[in-house]
Amino acid sequence: MIIGTAGHVDHGKTALIKCLTGIDTDALKEEKARGLTIEPGFAYPQGLEGVELGFIDVPGHEKFIHNMLAGIGGIDGALLVVACDDGIMPQSVEHLAILRLLSIPVRAVALTKCDLVDADLIEQRQLELADWLGEPAPIFALSNRSGEGIEALRDWLWQCASRWRARPAPGLFRLAVDRAFVKTGAGLVVTGTVVDGEVEEGAQLRLFPAQESVRVRGLRRQNRPAERARRGDRCALNLAGVERNEIQRGGWVVEASEPPEGHERLDIDLRLLADLDRPLAHWTPVHVHLGAAHLTGRVGLLEGSELAPGGRALAQLTLDQPVLACCADRVVIRSHGADRTLGGGRVLDRRPPRRGARRAERLAWLGILRRALDHGATESAEGFDSALAALAELRGDGIELAPLAANLNRRMEALRLRAEAQGLVIISADSETRLFAPGHLAALEQRLCEVVAANHQLEPAAAGTERERLRRQAAPRLASPIFRQLLERLLAQGRLVSHGPFIAEPGHRARLGEEDEALWQRIAPLLDESFDPPRVRDIAQSQGLAEQRVREVLSASARLGALYQVRKDHFYPLATIQTLAEIGLAIEAEHGSILAREYRDRIQVGRKLAIQQLEFFDRIGFTRRVRDVHRIRRPDMWH
Distance CA 344, CA 330 (A): 7
Q: Residue 601: pLDDT band by 50, 70, 90 thresholds?
A: very high
Distance CA 15, CA 19 (A): 6
Distance CA 563, CA 572 (A): 5
Distance CA 233, CA 195 (A): 8
Mean model confidence pLDDT for the chain: 90
Q: Which helix (H) or strand (E) holds 502?
A: strand 502-504
pLDDT recorded at residue 39: 59
470 neighbors 451 (Cβ within 8 angstroms): yes
pLDDT recorded at residue 63: 58
pLDDT recorded at residue 44: 82
Q: Residue 62: pLDDT band by 50, 70, 90 thresholds?
A: low
Q: What is the CA radius of gyration of the chain?
A: 34
Report pLDDT digits (tens) over 265-310: 999 999 999 999 999 999 999 999 998 899 999 999 999 999 999 9
Report pLDDT digits (tens) over 137-159: 999 999 999 999 999 999 999 99
pLDDT recorded at residue 29: 42
The number of beta carbons lying within 10 Å of the beta carbon of residue 236 is 25
pLDDT > 50? residue 101: yes
As a whole-number percent, the residues of the chain with pLDDT over 70 amount to: 94
Distance CA 543, CA 538 (A): 9
Distance CA 210, CA 253 (A): 10
Q: Cα–chain-centroid distance for residue 47?
A: 42
pLDDT recorded at residue 26: 63
> Which is more confident, 511 or 601?
601
pLDDT > 70? residue 328: yes
Q: What is the mean pLDDT of residues 216-240?
A: 92
Q: Residue 636: pLDDT band by 50, 70, 90 thresholds?
A: confident
As a whole-number percent, the residues of the chain with pLDDT over 90 amount to: 69
Report pLDDT digits (tens) over 452-485: 999 999 888 788 998 999 999 999 999 888 999 9
User: Structural domains in the chain?
Assistant: 2-163 (3.40.50.300), 174-254 (2.40.30.10), 263-362 (2.40.30.10), 363-433 (no CATH), 440-504 (1.10.10.10), 521-639 (1.10.10.10)
CA-to-CA dists, residue 591 to 532, 600, 607, 609, 629, angstroms: 25, 15, 19, 21, 11
Residues in the chain: 639
pLDDT recorded at residue 637: 81
Residue 19 CB partners (closer than 8 Å, separation 6+): 144, 147, 150
How much is the pTM?
Answer: 0.81
Report pLDDT digits (tens) over 565-577: 999 999 999 999 9
Q: Residue 31: pLDDT band by 50, 70, 90 thresholds?
A: very low
Report pLDDT digits (tens) over 195-214: 999 999 999 999 999 989 99
